[in-house]
Structure 1
Amino acid sequence: MLDDFLLQFFDDQPRRATSLYLLLTGKKTLSVLFAALEHQQLQWLHLYPTLSRPDFQAAIARLQAAHHLEKTDLGMILGGPKAQPANLPTAYQPWMGVHTFSPKFHLAVQMLSEASFHNARYRPVTQDWAIQQQLRQWWQHIDRQTAISELKTLLEVIGDESATVLLSTMIGHDFVGAGQVDDISQIQALAQLIAQLDAGLASSWQALWGGRKALGTKTQYAALQMIQQGATREQVSQRLRLKPSTINEHLLTAAIFGADLPLARLYPATMLTQLNQADAHLNYQPLLEQVPDSDFFQIRLFQILCLQGRWPHGQA
């Protein structure tokens, strides 16, 4: 049930409902990602891309009416004990591209199944022309029996329970499953399978998956690369013809996703000393006041790295 699913994302730390909705549906703004980092929920980025805003808002309203959630000035908090986990898909990671791989995976299974029975007349599980084109290209470069054998191995590796769940979604010759993954157990099963592809298993299916998905944009990576190569934020702004605020957001987003930034060139030594003595749990405005001459970028980066355990405390 949607209500139980959403409830487990709240605790006694205020959480803005809209920010949670945007996280689950895949919005990657700095504010959404930073809030997710604060609540240790970054893993769930793009977990539920089909969740409609009206359904989400109705569920939040029901939880409030039942006093399971309480509204504060800073966001929603639990109105009672912490909810028990509703079997979140622990194998899931945003870089897997679970929801973009799903239609390709199901069409590939259907093609292999129908080909095994020499049937060329069937309705494809997806009508997306671009996906069909990708699968035609994939089909030309694989050995069908190898792909079938690899799929059997993948299902064995992920275990009987997950394999059964995944099989229930498949469509093939004289067999009609769901044709997609749309609940937690199905997402978990497909994520487990993708984890095996990421580990190097099943080359045919690796080719179909295409590897880890970039979480940032090309412009974000360009800005990060320039900074890492010695450019200043101002120089990056000029070279990419973007506002300084946009460059700051690109770099902070990259940091949230784990990128290393050259702190010695982004902070004067005296500021590093001041930040080492500051409380990273404060909101950024009090920190700005505590650290003279600092800007939002420097304070937010400090907070991000502290939350990740990557701030070099004691070094200046």
Structure 2
Amino acid sequence: MNSYILRFFSYHQPRRIRVIESLLTNRLTVSNLFWGQRYGLLPWLGAARQLQRTEYDAVIKALADEQLITIDDEQQARLTVKGVQWQEAEQPYQPHFLDWYWLTNTNQFGQRLLLGMQVVSEYAYHNAKYAPVTVGYGHMLAVKRWFRQANHRQLAAAVYRDLDQLTTGLASVDQRLAVFLVDGLVGHDLPAWTNNQLAERLRLSQADMLALNHDLLLGVAAYCQHVPGPLQDLLGPLLNAGPLSKSTAVTLELYRQGAALEQIAARRRLKLSTVREHLLEVAILCPEQLDWNQLLPPAKRAALAKQYPDPDVTSWHFNSDEQDAGKAFFDYRLFQILRGREHHD
């Protein structure tokens, strides 16, 4: 875990310790999304949802004690020279499917995939007496429902074709992904390989196995989104329609229909601050869906540009004497997001 967490820090950029924790565990706030975008870590959102704070804090302390990172008074950490050398020596696994970070909760997705494939394997051997893998109760019900609705005569063959096509695609990207998927499944008289066994076979560290597992499940999810078949039937309900939360998507649709923010808040019985947060989420995750000239008119941008001339938006500090502090901060954060994108481009 130490090596896994170390990969999220930089030598050139101090990064907030709590932001990285929140990104990995999928704590969605506008602040976390903003800083995650600035750190280039947004695609890792939800990559370690089961990470506990006590475990994370212990890792941070160990990294600091080993002089791999330094921590300042604002609880920001950056790599030391020793930390950079450690990273370079480790040569961590580089994921291929992080652009699909928003598509599914890989922890939940993996549970349903594992049980579903076990059920089909045992059914193919006409075995009804076996111990199912341990998953959440909701996944057990979902797999039962999927199995009962399936065409039993063709199910095993159809799942085999699906897996064959999927693993062929994965192998064309990285052979290790296909091996990890196949050897990690539970089948009839065939236990899954342990992570230690897989790590030895694939010549990867345990830190890389964490990254590869998340990457693999995103790849499987992307396949399920695009390819009809039994895997899509089983796992499709766990796929998200887009990066935005459902509530944010509703706010965005009302805004695009021409409703003022105050009207949206009243209609949806939300605080105005919540509606603003929804639009800031859109600005970070789906900026192309906003009319920026309407949301942040050129005159307002010009005024903010004079107030915040530094191209490094991470150095800005909100400062306003406007009466409506909420609106002022909304405009400030929008401008910060916009300038950050322009500077990055």
Q: Which residue of 2 aligns with 1:274?
A: 303
Aligned-partner Cα distance in 1 for 2:121–2:337: 48
Structure 1 stretch displaced more, 184-193 or 3-12? 184-193
Q: Tell whether 2:282 aligns with 1:254.
A: yes
CA 1:240–1:202: 2 relative to 1, 3 Å: closer
Aligned residues, how many? 309
Alpha-carbon distance, 1:69 to partner: 0.9
Aligned-partner Cα distance in 2 for 1:208–1:288: 52
Equivalent positions of 1:188-267 (< 5 A) are: 188-198=215-225, 200-210=226-236, 212-213=239-240, 214-259=242-287, 260-267=289-296
Q: Which residue of 1 aligns with 2:39?
A: 39
CA 1:104–1:310: 2 relative to 1, 3 Å: farther
CA 1:229–1:79: 2 relative to 1, 3 Å: same
CA contact (8 A) 1:106 1:179 kept: no
Higher helix content, 1 or 2: 2
- What stretches of structure 1 of length at least 5 have no aligned partner? none
The superposition leaves residues 67-119 of structure 1 with CA deviations (integer Å, 9 ceiling, x where unpaired) of 11111234111122533352143323322322221111111110111011100
CA 1:90–1:153: 2 relative to 1, 3 Å: closer
Q: Which residue of 1 aligns with 2:115?
A: 107
Normalising by structure 2, we get a TM-score of 0.80
CA 1:287–1:40: 2 relative to 1, 3 Å: farther
CA contact (8 A) 2:167 2:178 kept: yes
* Residue of 86, 93, 98 corresponding to 2:92: 86
Structure 1 stretch displaced more, 82-91 or 16-25? 82-91
What one-letter code is carried by the residue in structure 2 that aligns with 1:78? L
Q: Which residue of 2 aligns with 1:136?
A: 144
Alpha-carbon distance, 1:128 to partner: 2.3
Aligned-partner Cα distance in 1 for 2:270–2:188: 53
Alpha-carbon distance, 1:62 to partner: 0.9
Amino-acid identity (%) = 27
Structure 1 stretch displaced more, 20-29 or 90-99? 90-99
Q: Which residue of 2 aligns with 1:304?
A: 337
Alpha-carbon distance, 1:127 to partner: 4.1
Structure 1 stretch displaced more, 144-153 or 57-66? 144-153
What one-letter code is carried by the residue in structure 1 that aligns with 2:293? A
CA 1:115–1:309: 2 relative to 1, 3 Å: farther
* Residue of 122, 128, 153 corresponding to 2:130: 122
Q: Which residue of 1 aligns with 2:170?
A: 158
CA 1:197–1:171: 2 relative to 1, 3 Å: same
Aligned-partner Cα distance in 1 for 2:36–2:343: 17
- What stretches of structure 2 of length at least 5 have no aligned partner? 199-208
Q: Which residue of 1 aligns with 2:63?
A: 63
Structure 1 stretch displaced more, 171-180 or 158-167? 171-180
Aligned-partner Cα distance in 2 for 1:272–1:188: 39
CA 1:187–1:270: 2 relative to 1, 3 Å: closer
Alignment RMSD (CA, Å): 2.9
